Amino acid sequence: MEMVAKNTLRAFRSIVREAEQIRDSLTELETRVYYPSSVQISDMPHAQGMVVSGSAQEKMLDAISDVIDRYRLKYAELMRERLEIENAIDSLDSDCRIVLRLKYIDGHTWEEVEDLTPYSLRTVHRIHGRALRILGGMKDGGR
């Protein structure tokens, strides 16, 4: 398992927020493309005998489809990062899991972690340090 560095743990909440934003944008774009309300692509004659080419609309839909594909890839990448962090945390003992989840996943301050656990602030920091050492050792193959 790759090392989950402290910076990666700190980035967890940003990863979740970005994934949610991308998911929302993806849903909006897919709705526009797959359930259009007023976009009609047609080469049929229109008023005053003019022919309106559908190529502009087709190009727009192609561009939107490209953005959708890019968002899907980015969303999958963010979900892989999130899963890697969660798997790393899950590999730890109970005390380490609790402290890391409260701090990095739930976003609590160190003082809040202390209040939410039966540990002193000093013990919370010791558990945190032990968790980081264990995660760091996983990169080197040690356990």
Residue 2 pLDDT more than 90? no
| Tens digit of each residue's pLDDT (9 = 90 or more) over 119-139 | 999 999 999 999 999 998 765
Residue 51, pLDDT > 60, answer: no
Is residue 143 predicted with pLDDT exceeding 80?
Answer: no
Q: What is the DSSP-derived secondary structure letter of residue 47? A: G
55-63: list long-range contacts, CB under 8 Å, 24+ apart: 61/33
Estimate to the nearest angstrom the gap between the alpha carbon of 121 and the chain centroid: 30
Q: What is the pTM of this model?
A: 0.72
* Cα separation values, 29 from 38, 42, 71, 116, Å: 15, 21, 10, 41
pLDDT at residue 41 is higher than 90: no
What residues contact 91, with CB distance under 8 A and at least 6 apart? 1, 138
Taking the C-alpha atoms of residue 129 and residue 95, their distance in angstroms, rounded to an integer, is 12
